[in-house]
């Protein structure tokens, strides 16, 4: 899927995005809980870069717990970003958020960030070198030693276990109130539009982008997350 098609898809989904995924909240909450502990060494006035923050779930979680952190949100979908803006206003952290409508390479150079989040974004890059360069472009916005927390759908699709994992994931999606048609579309999209690569492969890719200490800290079904450190 081309970038503009992906943005159009998220523009279309923004209205119902949070409701649609609300039943999977326990997965997100667990991820965010662990994220918080991986980011616990950051300074009290840390500057965070949140790439592809969508409607702002990870930003809201961190902003509530870290009252002095400031967030730069990068999001190409105007409709998703608008949801994020409304949430920031409703939850009282808008004054600590800078919202950038567009891609990271269009974000004006500014402060170097203490840490970045990039949840469920890089998986849409089918070209793995583009994906590596994307992580590298995040790293270049960080201070030396800055942290990256990233999550993506990841599995060894060649493994005999994959079919079992995929079926369980789809079944969980079914319980998340997706219709049969939604699930069929997702199944097709996973095969065609999402680069589900094996965890080890993704770890090497993050390392090759310039990060060290790549630690896998979370897995729930097909979703995995890593924390890593920018070494340049």
Ligand X SMILES: C[S@@+](CC[C@H](N)C(=O)[O-])C[C@H]1O[C@@H](n2cnc3c(N)ncnc32)[C@H](O)[C@@H]1O
| Interacting residues toward ligand X by CB under 6 A | 6-7, 10, 51-54, 57-58, 74-77, 80, 103-104, 119-121, 124
Residue 111: CB atoms within 10 A of its CB come to 11
Q: How far is the CB of 52 from ligand X (least distance, A)?
A: 3
Nearer to ligand X, 21 or 211 (CB): 21
Contact by Cβ (8 Å): 151, 138: no
Nearer to ligand X, 75 or 114 (CB): 75
φ, ψ (nearest 5 deg) of residue 93: -120, 15
DSSP type of residue 78: H
Nearer to ligand X, 194 or 214 (CB): 194
Q: How far is the CB of 160 from ligand X (least distance, A)?
A: 28
**Per-residue H/E/C for 115-166:** EEEEECCHHHCCCHHHHHHHHHHHHCCEEEEEEEEEEEEECCCCCCCHHHHH
Q: How far apart are CA 196 and CA 181, in angstroms?
A: 21
Which residue's Cβ has the minimum distance to ligand X?
54
Q: How far is the CB of 163 from ligand X (least distance, A)?
A: 23
Nearer to ligand X, 53 or 97 (CB): 53
- How far is C-alpha 168 from the geometric centre of its chain's CA atoms? 22
Q: How far is the CB of 154 from ligand X (least distance, A)?
A: 14
Nearer to ligand X, 103 or 217 (CB): 103
Q: How far apart are CA 216 and CA 46, in angstroms?
A: 23
Q: How far is the CB of 77 from ligand X (least distance, A)?
A: 4
Pairing assessment for the beta strands 142-153 and 223-230 based on DSSP bridges: antiparallel
């Amino acid at each position: 899927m081309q970038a503009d098609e992906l943005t159009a898809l998220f523009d279309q989904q923004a209205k119902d995005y949070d409701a649609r995924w609300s039943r999977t909240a326990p997965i997100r909450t667990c991820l965010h809980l662990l994220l918080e502990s991986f980011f616990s060494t950051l300074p009290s006035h840390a500057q965070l870069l949140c790439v592809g923050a969508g409607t702002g779930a990870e930003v809201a979680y961190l902003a509530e717990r870290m009252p002095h952190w400031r967030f730069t949100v990068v999001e190409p979908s105007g409709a998703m970003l608008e949801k994020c803006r409304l949430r920031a206003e409703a939850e009282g952290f808008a004054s600590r958020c800078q919202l950038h409508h567009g891609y990271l390479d269009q974000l004006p150079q500014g402060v170097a960030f203490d840490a970045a989040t990039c949840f469920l974004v890089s998986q849409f890059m089918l070209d793995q070198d583009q994906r590596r360069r994307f992580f590298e472009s995040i790293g270049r916005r960080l201070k030396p030693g800055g942290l990256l927390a990233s999550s993506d759908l990841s599995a060894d699709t060649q493994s005999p276990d994959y079919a079992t994992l995929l079926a369980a994931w789809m079944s969980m999606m079914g319980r998340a109130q997706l219709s049969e048609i939604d699930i069929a579309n997702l199944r097709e999209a996973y095969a065609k539009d999402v680069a589900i690569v094996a965890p080890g492969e993704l770890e090497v890719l993050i390392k090759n982008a310039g990060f060290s200490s790549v630690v896998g800290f979370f897995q729930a079904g097909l979703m995995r997350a890593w924390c890593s450190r920018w070494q340049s």
